[in-house]
Chain A
C-alpha cells in the first residue's frame, strides 16, 4: 500500500523537478497509475491460477489417468487461448516488477521510470509475437488445416 504510493509519488516528484513538466501534478490517469493497476490485476490473476494449478497437478497422486484427462483440457482451443492470456499477464507482471525494483534501488531509476515503462511494453510486444505464434500454431493448424 504505502510502498506503491511512495514509489509513484517519488517518481512523480522527480518528473516535476526535471525540465519537462508536461504531466502536471496529477498522478490519477497518468500512465504510472495504469501500470500499477495492471500490475495488481495481473498479480491477483496469477495467484488465482496458481491455486487451481497446484490442485490439478496434485492429480498425479490420484492416478495417471485422472491427471491426463484434466491436462487434455489444457490442449483444447479455448483453454489454449486462455494460456496465451496467462503468459501475457505473467510476462507483464514480471517486466513491470523489474521496473519497480529498478525505480526503488537504482539511483537513476525514478528519473527513468517513464522511458522504462515504454521499454517494458516494447519488450512485452517483442516476446509475445513469437510466443503467441508458438503457443497457438498447432491448435490453429488442427482447426483449419485438418491436422498436422
Chain B
C-alpha cells in the first residue's frame, strides 16, 4: 500500500524532546476504512504519534498525509479536526460543566465560526443525530446529566460519542478501556467494531484481551519506531516483541 488508498500515511516522523527521540523515524500506513490497533510499552511514543497527526506537536522531520494527499504538518489542530480527524484522549477529556447532550451538540458536525455559533438554532435533524449518537454509546438515559457526574467508563463513551458526532473519516482512540470493568471493556470493543464498519479507526491500547477482541491488524511501537506489524498472533510470536513488551 502506498499514499494512494491510505487514510493516514506517516513517513519518517521524528520528534525529539530535548534530544530524546520520542518518535524515531516512524512510518505507518493505515488504509481507507481500516481499523488498526497500536500496542507498545509505556513511553513507546503512541500518544506522541497522535499528537503529531492532530497538529499538537510538530515533528522535526518526516511526512504526514491524510487521505492520501492532505499535508497534516502545515495545519493547526482546529483545521485538522475540520478535515475529519477525531481524537479521543488518553485521559477522558469531556466538558464537565456541560450536560451529556451539550457535549455531543458541541461536537456535532457543522459550522464552527463565532457568528454561526452565536445564531445557531438546533435543527430537528441535528437533534435526531444527537439522539442517535447517544443511543450508540448507550448514554440516552444520561442525556441531561452533567458530564462531571458520569462514571469513568461513561466519560470514555461520551468522548467516543463526541468523536462520532464530529463525523470524522478517521478516529484516533487513545486507551479507551483504561480503568474500565471487564463488562465495560467488552461493550467498548463491540462499539468500536461497529464504528469501524464505516470509518477508519486507530486504537492504542495496552489491554491484550481487548486487542484480541478487536481482531484487527496490530502495529507494535517501541522506542518511537515500528517494531513489528501483523496479526496479533503473529506479532505475539515475534521474539523481539516478547522481549520488549509482552514478556515483561
Q: Do A and B come from one complex?
A: no
Give me the interface of B with A, judged by CB distance under 8 Å. none
